[in-house]
């Protein structure tokens, strides 16, 4: 049940409190989110094969393949339809802009199935998405859904 609380919008202290407490906390959370995104991209920079040999292997695999349809993995063929709605890999790709080519993902899946690791896979790249651009307050926003 909604509670009706009178807001004294004419009182300057109401606005000062609003900007300091509520908007300040919101801005801080957004800035922290964008910083965490930047940090993850930094940890996963470099050739993906090298990243997967290091300490961030599980993080990289979750970002790249988290929730990918098992039948795609079993076939050894990763395509756009292999990323179901709500999967971690799709979220990181479409919303946060963490990308690697489908060719690299196919090489990775087939190498993992064979118990090997390719020498090179390419890099996880950053793509500006609608979500990230909006959070940054960008004036030019990519197509929604991109």
Contacts 24+ apart (CB under 8 A), 31-34: 33/135, 34/132, 34/135, 34/136
| Burial tier of 129 (Cβ tally within 10 Å: 0-12, 13-18, 19+) | buried
- In the prediction, which pLDDT does 141 show? 45
Does any domain span residue 59? yes
Please indicate, yes or no, if residue 141 is contained in any of the structural domains.
Answer: no
User: Measured between alpha carbons, how far is 56 from 62 in angstroms, rounded to an integer?
Assistant: 10
Range of the domain at 129: 12-136
Q: Please choose, from the candidates 99, 93, 97, 117, the residue with its C-alpha nearest in 3D space to the C-alpha of residue 107.
A: 117
- Cα separation, 135 vs 126, in Å, equals 15
Is residue 55 domain-resident?
A: yes
- What is the pTM for the complete model shown? 0.72
Give a yes or no: residue 145 inside a domain.
no
Q: Kindly list the distances between the CA atom of residue 128 and the CA atoms of 49, 104, 125, in Å, as whole numbers in the listed order.
A: 24, 20, 10
**Least confidently predicted of 6-15, 18-27, 33-42, 137-146:** 137-146
Number of domains making up the chain: 1
Q: Does 17 fall in a domain?
A: yes
In a domain, 4, yes or no: no
Look at residue 19 and tell me if it is in a domain: yes
For residue 102, being part of any structural domain is answered with: yes
Torsion angles phi and psi, residue 141, rounded to 5: -110, 135
User: What are the tens digits of pLDDT across the range 18-53?
Assistant: 888 888 888 888 889 899 999 999 999 888 999 999
Distance between CA 117 and CA 76 in Å, rounded? Answer: 14
């Amino acid at each position: 049940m909604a509670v009706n609380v009178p807001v004294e919008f004419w009182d300057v202290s109401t606005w000062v409190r609003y900007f300091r407490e509520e908007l300040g906390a919101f801005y801080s959370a957004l800035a922290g989110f964008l910083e965490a995104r930047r940090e993850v991209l930094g940890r996963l920079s470099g050739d993906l094969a090298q990243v997967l040999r290091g300490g961030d292997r599980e993080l990289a695999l979750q970002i790249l393949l988290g929730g990918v349809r098992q039948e795609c993995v079993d076939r050894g063929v990763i395509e756009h339809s292999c990323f179901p709605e709500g999967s971690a890999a799709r979220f990181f790709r479409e919303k946060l802009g963490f990308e690697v080519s489908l060719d690299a993902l196919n090489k990775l899946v087939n190498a993992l199935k064979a118990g090997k690791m390719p020498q090179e896979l390419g890099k996880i790249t950053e793509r500006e998405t609608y979500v990230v651009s909006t959070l940054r307050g960008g004036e030019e926003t990519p197509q929604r859904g991109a």
